[in-house]
Amino acid sequence: MRISLSNLEFFGFHGLYEGEKKIGNQFLVDIQIDFTPTVSIVDELDQTIDYVLVYNKVKEIMDTPTPLLETLVCKIADQILIDHAIADKVFVQITKQKLAILSFIGDTSVAIERIRN
C-alpha cells in the first residue's frame, strides 16, 4: 500500500548563501510511503500511516533553517521510518522553486529513497 503527500508548500530559509538565509524561498515537498498493513482490509487509523502526523513532522523539519536540501530529505525520510514501524520504503523530494542564479529559469530538487533494512 502507498500513502502520498504531494506538493506540500513551505516557506523556509534553507540554503548556503546569505541571501537565501535572509530572503527565504518557497519549497515543495513530495512524499511517498510504501507500507505493508498488518490486516487485509484497513479500516482503522492505527492500521495505516496517519498522514497528519507525517505532515506535522515534515513541517517541523522544514521550519528549521538548514544549509542543504540533501540534509532535509535525509532527515525527513529517516524520521518517517523511525516514527512508523509499518513503513517499508520512503521517497522524499524537495523542490526549491526560485534559485538565486542570474538568468536561471526553472527549479531544482533533491530526492532520496530509503528502504527499511
CB 70 within 8 A of CB 7: no
CB 81 within 8 A of CB 109: no
- Among 21, 22, 96, 98, the active-site one is 96
CB-count burial class (<10 Å; 0-12, 13-18, 19+) for 69: buried
Is-catalytic flag, 21? no
Could you give the residue numbers annotated as active site?
A: 96
